[in-house]
Chains A and B, each alone.
Chain A
Amino acid sequence: MNLIPWRNKDPDRAMQALMPSFENFRTEMDRLFSRFFSEPLGFAGAGRWLELTPRVDLADTESAVEVKVEVPGVEPKDIDIEVSDNMLFIRGQKVRDREEKKRNYYYAEREQGSFSRSIPLPTSVNADKVDATFKDGVLTVTLPKKPGSVGRKVPVRNA
């Protein structure tokens, strides 16, 4: 096969195509380290008897903090969210439909059971105005920042 993939024709473009992979690589490494140090027994031990820890995305915008969690198969009513000044607690239950004994499983890869996660927030948030939505298995929690904690631009004067 001598065909050249279209995106490699122009070196600039090829570089651009590579950039996301570098970012991913960095994320992967971060994840690897944090997993190793956060699990009680490192890679080897932690088993399925532990509570599940969903992975989160935390983004900082000008006026709010946005937290996203992938929790497929959860009913919105089974998700419990609690906010204190600068901590967010997410708790929930993935339906254990696998308990049904009559079924005959060939694969059972999907995680089931209860999960929880506490996420420290980078700033104080307005707990009364927190909004949470659940769509296609992704939970999005938007936490508006307290007015005082929104960054203010400081102009530099000519002296």
Chain B
Amino acid sequence: MNTCAEMQKSETHQPTVERVRSGQVYRPLVDIVERKDELLVIADVPGATPDSIEVNFERGELTLCAVVPPREREGQRALLTEYGVGDFCRTFSVSEEIDAAKITASYVHGVLTLHLPKKDSAKPRKIAVKSA
């Protein structure tokens, strides 16, 4: 992915959507972890407030979007603008093994965590061996 140690946001282009807001859209950096009974999607979305984050699950696609207000520049002179400020958006394909109705999300300190529980049929099962 990115080879340098800087904390960096990458831009995204979603040509199929006509946006009504101008400005850059960024692709949040994510960790995706598989646990025994769930998948975890952890995304960095600094600057977004909890109510500006939208998580949608539709036709096997999980979309997370966050609206971030632009920089306020009134009465300020910018001396350094090293990072871009803009909305976040990213889409993932999710397998059918996920129980969409039970997806939960939490947000703390700029990090969005999605819990995607697996369907019962997809969870690992131990099969007891009976002695005959």
Question: Interface on A for B, CB 8 Å cutoff?
Answer: 5-7, 17, 20, 24, 27, 31, 34-35, 39, 43-44, 46-62, 66, 70-76, 98, 103-111, 115, 119, 122, 134, 136-138
Task: Indicate which residue in B33, B83, B110 contacts A57 across the interface (CB closer than 8 Å).
Answer: B83
Interchain residue pairs A-B with the least CB separation, the first 8: A137-B110, A72-B110, A137-B46, A58-B80, A55-B82, A55-B83, A109-B29, A72-B44
Contact status of A137 and B22, CB under 8 A, knowing A70-B7, A74-B109, A109-B29: no
- Jot down 13 A-B pairs with beta carbons below 8 A, ordered by A: A35-B6, A51-B5, A52-B5, A59-B73, A60-B77, A61-B75, A66-B76, A70-B7, A76-B109, A104-B34, A105-B32, A109-B30, A136-B46
Residues of B close to A105: CB separation below 8 A = 31-34
Residues of A close to B44: CB separation below 8 A = 72-73, 110, 137
Contact status of A103 and B34, CB under 8 A, knowing A71-B46, A73-B110: yes
Residues of A close to B126: CB separation below 8 A = none
Cross-chain contact B76 with A60 (CB below 8 angstroms)? yes
Cross-chain contact A106 with B34 (CB below 8 angstroms)? yes
Contact status of A138 and B110, CB under 8 A, knowing A27-B84, A46-B5, A62-B75: yes
Residues of B close to A103: CB separation below 8 A = 33-35
Residues of B close to A106: CB separation below 8 A = 32-34
Instruction: List the count of A-B residue pairs having beta carbons below 8 Å apart.
Output: 139
CA distance A49 to B18 in the complex (A): 40
Residues of A close to B31: CB separation below 8 A = 98, 105, 107-110
Contacting A at CB under 8 A, from B53-102, are 71, 73, 75-84
Contact status of A72 and B109, CB under 8 A, knowing A48-B5, A138-B46: yes
- Main SS at interface, chain B: loop
Contact status of A59 and B76, CB under 8 A, knowing A20-B22, A110-B44, A134-B109: yes
Contacts beyond the supplied A54-B6, A137-B111: 10 A-B pairs with Cβ under 8 Å: A31-B82, A34-B82, A43-B3, A43-B4, A56-B83, A57-B71, A76-B109, A107-B30, A108-B31, A137-B48
Residues of A close to B5: CB separation below 8 A = 46-53, 111
